[in-house]
Amino acid sequence: MVFFHWTFLFHILGIGLIFASLLGGLVIHFRFRGTRDWKSRAVILPVARIIGLFSPAGTALLLLSGIGNIVALSLSPMPFWMHLKLGIFVVLVVLGVWGAVLARKRAGLVMSLSTGNPSPDAEAKLRSAEAFGSSVFIVQGFLFLAVIAISVIKP
């Protein structure tokens, strides 16, 4: 039973890292969008990258501790709610990877705009990336809340 206590503790830590990544990333994203100066935006990007690194660490912790919890609780036929939770979690991970690729492209656009040698359509691409980034954060937030609700309700 001690094994379960440790895996449960690491599961809670993973949830905290994911929550910090989503909430911190959302706050920084909207702060980034509210800043009009390109050099100020370039300063915000490293902070966003650090906050974004919480997500892979939280994902790894959640996956490993989740497997540990399944083993510790001897859930041989996994219940439906756990399959549903894992499916939503996979979608969250895919959106996180896609968001990271988008963030890297956005960083390149901001750096080119802040140095003064942007491509002709850099601002349009950046506006598109910002709108998509907002959508990703909102969808990830709702999916994260769905995973938490499924964990509590266990339909």
The model's pLDDT over 98-136, given as tens digits with 9 standing for 90+, comes to 888 888 888 888 888 888 777 788 888 888 888 888 888
Q: How many Cα atoms sit within 13 Å of 129 on the Cβ side?
A: 22
Closest-CA residue to 32 (of 57, 49, 53)? 49
Against a cut of 0.85, is the pTM above it?
Answer: no
Three-class SS state of 146: helix
1, 13, 60, 89, 146 from 65: Cα distances, Å: 14, 10, 8, 14, 19
If pLDDT is split at 50, 70 and 90, which confidence band does 13 have?
very high
pLDDT in tens, 33-92: 888 888 888 888 888 888 888 888 888 898 888 888 878 777 677 788 888 888 888 888
